[in-house]
Amino acid sequence: MQARTLYSILLFGGLGFLCGCDRLPGKPKEEDRWKPPSEIKDFALLFNTNCRGCHSNGQTLSASISMNNPPYLAVVPKEVMHKTIETGIPGTQMPTYSDKAGGSLTEEQVNILVEGIYNWAKGHEAPTDNLPPYSAALGDAERGKAVFAQACASCHGSGGEGTKGKGGAVDKAYLSLVSDQYLRTVVIVGRPELGMPGFREYVPGKPMTGEEISDVVSWLASRREGPAPGQSAKTAEIAPKTQPSTPNE
Ligand code: HEC
Ligand code: HEC
């Protein structure tokens, strides 16, 4: 055998051995290959690309509530979380995700998101005693004003106008962006990452009752100008579709 041939066998044989035979250097790995978005099954990737711009994963600050928040996960029913992701909250910034409703996620991906979000609370579960209902009708705005004075005014000012360093809770522009349910959610779970405690801590040793929560939300809602944003998914489904009265053709 010529020295040159021997050299080639050694070189290529050696390279093949190093690369496990079926892989040449630079060949993309399976996980690097392009996948259609509907094939993405990784929870962190799904959350980071779809939700994290608005809802924290617990490591960042975000405009809306964090999803990595055990007190929130203790109060929000799983079906509500699921439905909210599928349909969004019409009239607010919360988008529709279900591909059946024009969104970009499959049913399976929505399930992966829901399970992954609830898994964040595993091992960090919040207490469930005295837990107020996640959802309830508005209460009495007059009584709510008194509740606000007791539980909220120390940070938000007696009329909700805000105190030094803490924003106004009754800012009209703010109230026109969020639904009554979101106000209720925030009163129950707070914004711990921003320094707002939850329903257990406003008045030391006296968790806020479901009724007080409904009343204070009612007072906040009464400060809003114009209609409340955020129809429930059900209302959105049954609302008549507005058709142009004269077809374009
Ligand atoms: C210990 C201080 C503190 C108390 C008490 C408090 N808040 Fe807040 N609240 C904050 C801070 C801090 C924020 C973060 C944003 C800001 O500065 O407005 C906030 C935010 C909010 C928001 C906007 C949240 C969002 O995500 O859109 C609302 C609404 C609100 N508070 C209502 C209330 C109500 C109602 C009460 C009483 C039940 C209350 N707060 C009690 C400190 C407090
Ligand atoms: C463009 C910003 C934006 C994005 C992106 C977004 N959300 Fe939201 N989300 C909101 C806002 C704003 C609200 C409050 C709407 C309201 O007023 O009721 C909300 C509400 C919610 C609620 C209900 C909160 C409550 O009151 O209990 C859930 C659950 C939720 N989002 C989950 C998600 C998940 C999961 C994703 C990703 C698949 C996501 N959101 C993406 C802005 C966003």
Count the Cβ atoms, other than its own, within 10 Å of residue 219: 24
Tokens 């970009």 locate to 104
Tokens 């980071």 locate to 48
Using CA atoms, how far apart are residues 120 and 130, in angstroms rounded to an integer? 22
What pLDDT, on the 0 to 100 scale, is given for residue 240?
Answer: 41
Return the higher-pLDDT residue of 163 and 217. 217
Average pLDDT over all residues of the chain? 86
Per-residue pLDDT at 241 exceeds 50: no
What pLDDT, on the 0 to 100 scale, is given for residue 46?
Answer: 98
Count the Cβ atoms, other than its own, within 10 Å of residue 131: 16
Query: Which of 94, 115, 224 best tests ligand 2's pocket when mutated (most atoms within 8 Å of CB)?
Result: 94
Using the mean position of ligand 1's atoms as its centre, give its distance from the Cα of residue 169 in Å: 6
Per-residue pLDDT at 239 exceeds 80: no
High-pLDDT (> 70) share of the chain, %: 83
- Which residue has the CA at smallest separation from atom 27 of ligand 1? 64
What pLDDT, on the 0 to 100 scale, is given for residue 168?
Answer: 74
Return the higher-pLDDT residue of 131 and 167. 131
Count the Cβ atoms, other than its own, within 10 Å of residue 96: 20
Q: What is the mean pLDDT of residues 28-43?
A: 88
- In the chain, the amino acid numbered 52 is R
**Cα–Cα separations (whole angstroms), residue 24 to 10, 85, 152, 191, 248:** 16, 43, 64, 51, 59
Per-residue pLDDT at 8 exceeds 80: no
